[in-house]
Amino acid sequence: MKKSLVLSGLAAFLLVACGNSQANSNNEDKSDGNKTTQSTELSAVVDQVALNVPSAKGGTKLLVKSDFLKTVWNYETSPQEWKFLGDKPAIIDFYADWCGPCKIAAPILEEISQEFAGKIDVYKIDTEREKELAAVFGIRGIPAFLYIPKDGRPVMTSGIARSKEDTKKMFVDNINKILLSTN
């Protein structure tokens, strides 16, 4: 019963910024066949390694399920209760490569991660590759952002603002209000 309350509470948001269409996710460059596939796979591995290198200057970190279970919440061992495992507040960006608003948010979040280095962690979860994690949080549309305070319940938001400046302001305001507030 508690598990369904926690998960349904987190999944109570209908996120619609990019919609739930996945038709665009199947767009692949088939012009060079195997070479393109290998290049794409290598690029993804390089990106993942680069994003997971800890840095005092910040930087977003790509999470896969195994990392999520160790650093954010192990919903397999405590499915009925939210237990944040991080040592500082965090934002998780649920995204997909085909999502236009996600592409706008990514460099802004990278900037935010550097500006707030040492105060918060910024993570990214590729909803195309990590479907189980997206399902755990009821992600229906992207971009979706999970703000996780050090203590207390996480807060889900979705979408971006009309401009890059307003989007950055939205992130900074939410960080200050949800993650760094001393209330």
Catalytic residues: 99, 102
C-alpha 151/C-alpha 86 separation (Å) is 10
Are residues 122 and 113 in contact, defined by beta-carbon separation less than 8 angstroms? yes
User: CB burial class (10 A; 0-12, 13-18, 19+) of residue 160?
Assistant: buried
C-alpha 7/C-alpha 82 separation (Å) is 9
- Pairing between strand 121-126 and 155-158? unpaired
Are residues 146 and 9 in contact, defined by beta-carbon separation less than 8 angstroms? no
- Residues 6 or more apart in contact with residue 157 via CB below 8 angstroms: 13, 144, 145, 147, 174
* Nearest by Cα to 102 from 60, 56, 40: 60
